[in-house]
Amino acid sequence: MAGSDGVATLLQQGLSNDFVMTARVVAALPLLFFVPGYVVLRSLGAARPLCYATFVSAIGISLSLVIVAGLVLNIFGALDGAGWFIALAPAAVIGYLILSPQRFAFKTIALMPAVAFGAAALLAAAAIEAARAGAIAQRQFAYTELWLLPADGASARTVIVGLFNQEELDVPYALELRSDDHVVARWPDLRLAAGERRSWIVPVPTAERRVEALLYRTDDGVSLYRRAWIDTR
């Protein structure tokens, strides 16, 4: 009984995660890359029996229509699964009617055009994957904010030091507060969740030159990550 429950749990997890995601991607590919363009070609009477030229034209038109649909959905704040379904479902229905067996005809494709089409499809898939990886890795708006201010607005006998994690992920830090060359306070093991903000009020000895806060990211070596200071001269 326990074994069957374990198998059921594993199947449920697989179906609810990787399997379902893969199925959704596979089902969406024709809607994104073929059906809309082929529907347009058939409605204009420009689609010949399924051949290399029809494939290429349908893919190009489909990509253009999907881009326009994405812009329109973004204007209405509907750039999500439901919005895409509403935008692409009519194309799927019309495509099913057009691509029914009574209307669908194949034409023999010569070897070289087929090889060229296969190579182009592989290059397009590789380009899409590279662009996807780059978009995921792109975090140009991710940063950590560090600030250091006099607590009384004038002197540096008491300071406020603060952190704001805008890295879009949980980050471990180490923070050090110095007065001239002397360590006043140290936080060696700080962990802030994404979007979390913290601050501390710290009394410091009278500094001859400056009070300085040094911030390190402990998951990225020991190099200095941020620095803030107050000149007291």
List pLDDT tens digits, range 26-36: 777 777 788 77
Q: Residue 112 above 50 pLDDT?
A: yes
Q: In which order are the strands placed within the sheet that holds 210-217?
A: 182-192, 171-179, 210-217, 224-231
Of the candidates 127, 129, 94, 109, the residue with the CA atom closest to the CA atom of residue 56: 109
Both tokens of residue 94? 């019309």
Euclidean distance between CA atoms 191 and 81, whole angstroms: 34
The DSSP secondary-structure symbol of 109 reads P
Q: Residue 12 above 70 pLDDT?
A: no
Q: What integer best gives the mean pLDDT of the chain?
A: 75
pLDDT digits (tens, 9 = 90+) for 186-217: 999 999 998 899 999 998 876 667 889 999 99
Burial of 176: CB neighbours in 10 Å, binned 0-12, 13-18, 19+? middle
Contact of 106 with 50, CB cutoff 8 Å: yes
What is the per-residue pLDDT for 191? 92
Binned at pLDDT 50, 70 and 90, residue 25 comes out as confident
Secondary structure string (H, E, C) spanning 8-60: HHHHHHHHHCHHHHHHHHHHHHHHHHCHHHHHHHHHCCCCCCECHHHHHHHHH
| Domain extent listing, the chain | 2-107, 143-231
Q: Residue 161 above 80 pLDDT?
A: yes
CATH class held by domain 143-231: mainly beta
What is the per-residue pLDDT for 186? 93
What is the per-residue pLDDT for 96? 60
